[in-house]
Amino acid sequence: MITDDQLVDLIKAYNPNTNEDMVRSAYAYGAHAHEGQTRESGEPYFTHPVEVAALLSEQRLDDITIVTALLHDTIEDTKLTYQTVADAFGDEIARLVDGVTKLTNLQLSSVETKQAENFRKLLMAMSRDPRVLLVKLADRLHNMRTLRFLKTEKQVQKARETMDIYAPLAGRMRMQSMREELEDISFRVLNPEARASILRRFVVLRRQNGEMIPQITEDIRRTLEDAGIEADVFGRQKKPYSIWRKMQDQGEVFGRLSDIYGFRIIPTSVEECYRTLGAVHQRWAAVPGRFKDYISQPKSNGYRSIHTTISGRSAKRVEIQIRTRQMHEVAETGIAAHWSYREGARFENPFTVDPVRWLERLTARFEASETPNDFLEHVKLEMFTDQVFCFTPKGEVIKLPRGATPIDFAYAIHTRIGDSCVGAKVDGHRVPLWTRLRNGQSVTIIRAEGQRPQASWEDMVVTGRAKSAIRRSLREENRAAHIRLGSEIARVALERVGKTASPKALRTAAEKFGHSDPEEMLARLGAAEITGSDLIATLYPELTAGAQAVAAPGRGPGIVGLDTNQVAQPAPCCQPIPGDRIIGIAVRGRGVEVHAIDCYMLAKLEDRAEEWIDLAWTQGAGSAAHLACIEVTMANDAGVLGRICTLIGEQRANIADIVFTDRKPDFYKVVLDLEVRDVAHLHNVQTALAAESDVSDVVRFRGEVADGPLPVT
C-alpha cells in the first residue's frame, strides 16, 4: 500500500505548495476509520481509497479532490457521519464525500426505469460539483482493476454497468485514457474470446510486418524535420475493444480495418498544427472522407484536434491526430484539466470548458423529458455519438450526432421549425427527410404552416431533443383526436337512452369521474379508458340498473336447458348472442359457460361430448343487450372513426369499448365491443359499416383464450 509519504511526494511533483498537513491528516483519519476492514482480495480496505487518491494525483488534481478520495468511503462504510467529516475537514470536503456516497448508492445496474431515474440524479449531482464524478470514476477504475477477486456473476454485473454507464461518461468528459482502460477491463470480462482473438491478430501482424509503430513514427519525424516543424510524435495500436467496436459498426473483418494504428503529433502552436497537416498530406495520400477539423469547430466539451487518415508504410492506413500540448491535456484528462495544478499553481488551460457550465447545459437540455426513460435515452445518445457539423443558410454552425437527419437539424434550431418541416435541401438539392447528414453540408429546411410531426419521424431522428418534441406533439394530436372521438361516443351513448350530451351533462360526468375539465373525461372516453356504458352508469345509474337486470345471464327467459341449480354465463372465447346455436359446458367455479356451436374450444372437448349440455335461447332473449365484438379495418383519415360511431348509433347499438389493434399510416384496425340484441341486429350493424366507403373490412371478432381444455366438472 502507498504510504502517506509516497502520496505526498506524488502530489508535490506537480504541486509543490500542496497542503501537506491536510493530506497526511486525511490519510491517518481514513486509515483509522477503516481499521479492521478488508477487501475481497484480503488486503486492508484502506488500500482502495489510497489507490483512488493516487489515480487522481496522476490527473494533477487539487488537494480538495485528493482528500475527498482518501475519505470517499468513510460515510458509507464506517461509523463516521457527514458532520464528523465536516468538523474535521470542512463543509466542502464533507459535501464531496457525501456526493460520492450518494452516487455509489444509486445502483445504476438496477431495472431500467429505476436506472433511468437514478441516472438523472447522477447527472444532477455532477452538475453541482463535477469533482464528485472524478472521484467516482477513479473509484470505479480501481475496483475494475481488482475485479478478479469477485465472483463471476458479480464481475459480469460490474463490467456491464461500467460499459453502459461509466466508460461512456468518462469518454463524454474527454477522460480518454480512463475510458479506454475501463472499456478494456470490461471487454475482458464480457467477451474474453473476442479480446483474445484480436490480441492474437496483433501478434500475427507484428510477425508479418515487423514493428510498424516505431517505423511509421520515424517516417513522420523525418517528414516534419524536413519541413522545419518541431513536434512530438507518439504512436500506438488501438485498444482491443476499440478494434472490436469498429468491426461491429463497419461490418468488417480485422484485416480490412483502416486504422488499427493511431499516431499523435503535438506541435508547438495552432499555426504549426496546420503546417503539420500540410506536410503530412504532401508526404502521404489522404484517405477521402476521413478528415475532421475539431480545432476550427471544437466539440461542445472542449475537445480540439485535427484528425486525418493516410495511406502510410506498406499501404497501411493509419489515423493521425494533430493538436497542441494544451489541447492534448484536455483530450486526455477532460474536465479534470479544469482543476489541474502545475508548479504549485492552478493551471489555466485556455481550451478547457468550464465543466459546471457544460453539465448545467447538458442537464437543462433534458429537463423537458417527461419520463425518466426518455431522459436516459437522451443522455446516452449525447454520450455515445460522435458529432457532425452542418451549416444553416446564414452560415451558423449546428452540431449534431453522427447519423442525424434534416429533421434533427430543424429541431436543433427551434421546435417550431422542426414541427413545421415538410422538406429539406442539402447543398442546394432536395433530399428525403431520412437523409443522413455529413460534415460541412449546408442544410435548408422547407416549412409549411399547419404541418405537424408524423409518427414515422420518430424512427428517422437520433437526437433526444427531436424525439422528445415529436412524441410531445403526437401526444397532443392524439389527445385532440381522442376528444373528438369521445364526444361522438358520448353523444351516441346518451342518445340511445333518450338523453342529450349537453355541456352541463358532460361537466357533471367529468366531476363524477374526478376531472375538473370535461375534455379530460372525453379524452379518456375516446382512448377507451372509460366506456359509454360507464358514462351512462355515472349520470343515470337507474337506467343502467334496469338494463343490467334485463341483460343478466342465467336461468329463466334467456336460456332453456339448465337444471334448477345451474347458472349460465357467455364464454369469453366466442361471446354467443341470441341467434347463435349454443352448447353449455359446466366449469368449476364458473357455473355453465355458454359456447357457440362453432367455438374452437369445443373441438378440444370432443372426447368428452357426453358432458355437453344442449341449450337454446328463449323467444324473448333478444330483448336484452348482449355483448359482441367486431373488427373494423378503416382508412386513417380525419372523421372516419366518428362516422363509424354515428352509423353504429343509428343502428341502435351501443359501443361499450374500443381498442386499436393495429395502427398503420394508411389504415387502422379497431375492435369494437357492441351491445346488440341478437345476431340479426349485429348483422345489420356490420352491413351498415361495410357500406361505408372508408371501411375496407368488417368481421365478427372472437378472441382466443389460452390453449388447453376447460376444467370441466
CB contact at 8 A, 147 and 155: yes
- Picking from 552, 674, 609, the residue whose alpha carbon sits closest to that of residue 595 is 609
- 627 and 653 in a single domain? The answer is yes
Centre a 10 Å sphere on the Cβ of residue 208 and count the other Cβ atoms it contains.
Answer: 9
Contacts of 648 (CB under 8 A, 6+ apart): 492, 654, 655, 672, 674, 685, 688, 689
Is the pLDDT at 87 greater than 80? The verdict is: yes
> Which tens digit of pLDDT belongs to each residue from 320-364?
999 998 888 777 766 655 555 554 455 555 555 555 555 555 555
Asked whether residue 661 is domain-assigned, the answer is yes
Here the cell at position 373 is: 426513460
Whether the per-residue pLDDT at 116 is higher than 70: the answer is: no
Beta strands 568-570; 591-596: pairing state = parallel
Residue 281 binned pLDDT confidence (cut-offs 50, 70, 90): very high
Which grid coordinates belong to 66?
A: 485528493
Q: What is the mean pLDDT of residues 245-255?
A: 64
Helices of type H across 497-621: 503-512, 518-526, 532-539, 541-551, 600-603
DSSP per-residue letters across 208-261:
HH--HHHHHHHHHHHHHHHTT--EEEEEEEPPHHHHHHHHHHHT--GGG-S-SE
Chain-wide mean pLDDT for the chain?
79
Mean pLDDT across 415-425 = 91
Instruction: Quote the pLDDT of residue 44.
Output: 93
Check whether 50 has a pLDDT greater than 90.
Answer: yes
Residue 85 inside a domain? The answer is yes
The reply to whether 168 and 54 lie within a common domain is: yes
Domain holding 522, by residue range, is 473-550
Average pLDDT (25-37) is: 93
Q: How far apart are CA 587 and CA 712, in angstroms?
A: 5
C-alpha distances (whole Å) from 359 to each of 119, 122, 130, 169, 561 are: 13, 11, 8, 12, 75
Higher pLDDT, residue 506 or 165: 506
> Per the residue annotation, which of 20, 77, 377, 529 is the catalytic one?
77
Cell of residue 178, nine digits: 480512463
Distances from the Cα of 570 to the Cα of 471, 559, 596, 626, 629, angstroms: 41, 11, 9, 9, 13
Query: Residue 673: phi, psi to the nearest 5?
Result: -85, 115
The answer to whether residue 608 scores a pLDDT higher than 70 is no
Domain containing residue 290: CATH number: 3.30.460.10
How far, in whole angstroms, is CA 637 from its chain's centroid? 31
- The SS3 call for residue 594 is strand
Would the pLDDT of 709 be above 50? no
Residue by residue, DSSP assigns 564-599 as: TT--EEE-TTT---BTB-EEEEEETTTEEEEEETT-
Cα 562 to chain center, whole Å? 57
| Total domains, the chain | 4
Using a 10 angstrom Cβ sphere, with 0-12 exposed, 13-18 middle and 19 or more buried, the burial of residue 338 is: buried
Q: Quote the CA–CA distance of 367 and 360 in Å, as a whole number.
A: 10
Of 249 and 366, the structure prediction assigns the larger pLDDT to 249
What is the mean pLDDT of the segment spanning 224-230?
94
Instruction: Pick the range with the lowest mean pLDDT from 454-463, 589-598, 665-674.
Output: 589-598
Choose the final residue of a domain: 322, 348, 369.
322
| Predicted local confidence at residue 231, as pLDDT | 94
Instruction: Measure the CA–CA gap between 545 and 533, rounded to whole angstroms.
Output: 11
Q: How far apart are CA 565 and CA 196, in angstroms?
A: 74
The answer to whether residue 428 scores a pLDDT higher than 80 is yes
| Euclidean distance between CA atoms 106 and 114, whole angstroms | 9
d(CA 315, CA 284): 10
Q: Is 433 helix (H, G, I), strand (E, B) or coil?
A: coil
Which amino acid would we find at residue 29?
Answer: Y
SS3 63: helix
- Cα–Cα dist 498/711, whole Å: 43
Please state the rounded mean pLDDT for residues 695-708. Answer: 67
Residue 476 is a catalytic residue: no
Q: Report the distance separating Cα 695 and Cα 511, nearest Å.
A: 36
89-104 pLDDT per residue, tens: 999 999 888 888 876 6
Q: Which of 466, 348, 346, 353 is CA-nearest to residue 411?
A: 466
Residue 633, pLDDT > 60, answer: yes
C-alpha cell recorded at residue 518: 370535461
Q: Give the per-residue pLDDT at 277.
A: 95
- Among candidate residues 162, 190, 218, the one where a domain is terminated: 190
- Note every long-range contact of 376-380, with CB atoms under 8 Å and residues 24 or more positions apart, other chains counting: 376/112, 376/115, 376/116, 376/119, 376/120, 377/464, 377/467, 378/463, 378/464, 378/465, 378/467, 378/468, 379/119, 379/123, 379/464, 380/168
- Cell 383464450 maps to which residue? 705
pLDDT in the model for residue 350: 55
Pair 522, 569 in one domain:
no
Q: How do strand 612-614 and strand 582-587 relate by DSSP bridges?
A: antiparallel
Residue at 246 is within a domain: yes
Residues 6+ apart with CB under 8 A from 317: 258, 259, 287, 309, 310, 311
The answer on pLDDT for 542 being more than 90 is: no
Task: Give the distance between the most distant pair of CA atoms in the chain.
Answer: 110
71 and 178 co-located in one domain: yes
Q: What one-character-per-residue DSSP string does 595-643 give?
A: EETT-HHHHTTGGGGGGEEE-EE-TTGGGS-EEEEEEEEEE--TTHHHH
- The confidence band for 223, taking pLDDT boundaries of 50, 70 and 90, is very high
Residue type, 358: W
Residue 581 lies in a domain: yes
Grid coordinates of 368: 423537458
**349, part of any domain:** no
Of 395-399, 443-447, 705-709, the range with the lowest mean pLDDT is 705-709
CATH number at residue 28: 1.10.3210.10
> What number of CA atoms fall less than 13 Å from residue 346's CA on the CB side?
9
Among 4, 20, 58, 76, the active-site one is 76
Indicate whether 206 and 294 sit together in one domain: yes
Residue range 639-653: mean pLDDT, rounded: 85
Give the model's pLDDT for residue 111.
45
Determine contact, residues 432/422, Cβ cutoff 8 Å.
no
- CB proximity list for 308: less than 8 A, separation 6 or greater: 277, 280, 281, 286, 287, 290, 291, 292, 319, 320, 322
Residue 338 phi, psi (nearest 5): -65, -25
Who wins on pLDDT, 104 or 601?
Answer: 601
At 594, list the grid cell. Answer: 355458454
Question: What percentage of the chain's residues is helix, strand, coil (to nearest 5)?
Answer: 50, 15, 30
Look at residues 269, 281, 270 and name the one whose alpha carbon lies nearest to residue 223. Answer: 281
Cα(699)–Cα(619) distance, integer angstroms = 26
Active site residue 76: yes
Same domain, 704 and 559: yes
Looking at residue 405, what is its pLDDT?
93
Q: Are residues 82 and 222 in the same domain?
A: no
477-486 confidence digits (pLDDT tens): 777 778 888 8
Give 384's pLDDT tier (boundaries 50, 70, 90).
Answer: very low
What residues have CB less than 8 Å from 285, skipping those under 6 apart?
Answer: 310, 311
Mark whether 628 and 642 lie in a shared domain.
yes
Residue pair 604/708 in contact by the 8 Å Cβ criterion: yes
Residue 476 has pLDDT above 70, yes or no: yes
Cβ neighbours around 124 below 10 Å, total: 13
Q: Are residues 180 and 220 in the same domain?
A: no
91-100, 139-148, 394-403: the lowest-pLDDT one: 394-403
- Inside any domain, residue 291: yes
C-alpha cell at 638: 380525419
Half-sphere exposure of 43 (CA within 13 A, CB side): 13
Q: Do 11 and 116 share a domain, yes or no?
A: yes
Grid coordinates given for 47: 488500500
Q: Which of 157-166, 550-559, 562-571 has the lowest mean pLDDT?
A: 550-559
Residue with more model confidence, 444 or 550: 444
Residue 354 placed within a domain: no
DSSP state at residue 142: H
State residue 708's pLDDT score: 40
Q: Which of 261, 322, 266, 335 is nearest to 294 (CA)?
A: 322
- Would residue 556 count as lying in a domain? yes
Q: Is the pLDDT of residue 672 over 50?
A: yes
Instruction: Judge whether residue 109 has pLDDT over 50.
Output: no
**Does 232 lie in the same domain as 165?**
no
Amino acid identity at 8: V
Based on the fold, state whether residues 216 and 176 are members of the same structural domain: no
Q: Return the residue matching grid coordinates 341449450.
A: 615
Residue 420 has pLDDT above 80, yes or no: yes
Q: What is the mean predicted confidence (pLDDT) over 591-609? A: 78
| Predicted pLDDT at 534 | 81
Q: What is the CATH number of the domain that holds 576?
A: 3.30.70.260
Q: Which helix (H) or strand (E) holds 459?
A: helix 457-460
Among residues 303, 322, 341, the one where a domain terminates is 322
Instruction: Answer yes or no: are the C-beta atoms of 522 and 486 closer than 8 Å.
Output: yes
